[in-house]
Structure 1
Amino acid sequence: MKTTLEKRKINLVQNFLALDNTETISKVEVLLKEEKARIYEESISKKMTHSELGKLLEQSEKDFENGDFNSISEVKSMMKNW
């Protein structure tokens, strides 16, 4: 019988909640953090088509014209919370 992704997630959470070892929990936290970083890196490393890049640039120009952007100092301030 094939287990659905939803059931697997529930099972994983139940098993995690049953853990009583801080070292094991720390290892799971590190693994999740590394996996999220890997997935993020994969998503930003994918090449854009010329059309996709053009649309992104057009939207960026519209955002700038409408004042919908952050200054360097605002970005630096936000980075402190990352």
Structure 2
Amino acid sequence: MKTTLEKRKINLVQNFLNLDNPETISKVEVLLSQEKVRIYEESISKKLMYQELNTLLDKAEDDFKNGRIITTEELLKKVENW
């Protein structure tokens, strides 16, 4: 039986929270950073239209202004209840 992407992400977060080795955490941070760059470069290569980018930025600013955000502490509490 295949696990869903959501279950895989939950499992990943739980495993990450159990890490105690600073070197391993650093490696994960580097990997995530590299992946963000790769995804960003890929999106640029697809030439995201200027208007689409502005729409995304407007939505992000609106979310922030209207409190549709979550703190790290709140996220950790939610993860504990999964």
TM-score, normalisation: structure 2: 0.57
1:40-51 mapped onto 2 (5 Å cutoff): 40-47=40-47
1:8-30 deviations in whole A, cap 9, x for unaligned?
00000000001000000000000
User: 1:37 aligns to what?
Assistant: 37
When the two chains are superposed, the root-mean-square deviation of aligned CA atoms in Å is 2.3
- Structure 2 unmatched ranges of 5 or more: 55-82
The total of aligned residue pairs comes to 53
- Structure 1 unmatched ranges of 5 or more: 60-82
1:2-49 deviations in whole A, cap 9, x for unaligned?
10000000000000001000000000000000000000000001257x
Whose relative contact order is higher, 1 or 2, with alpha carbons under 8 Å and at least 6 apart? 2
When Rg is computed on C-alpha atoms for both structures, the one with the higher figure is: 1
The AA in structure 2 aligned to 1:10 is I
1:46-82 deviations in whole A, cap 9, x for unaligned?
257xxx68x78xx9xxxxxxxxxxxxxxxxxxxxxxx
Q: Matches of 2:8 and 2:39 in 1, distance apart?
A: 20
Instruction: Kindly report structure 1 stretches of 4+ aligned residues shifted beyond 4 Å.
Output: none
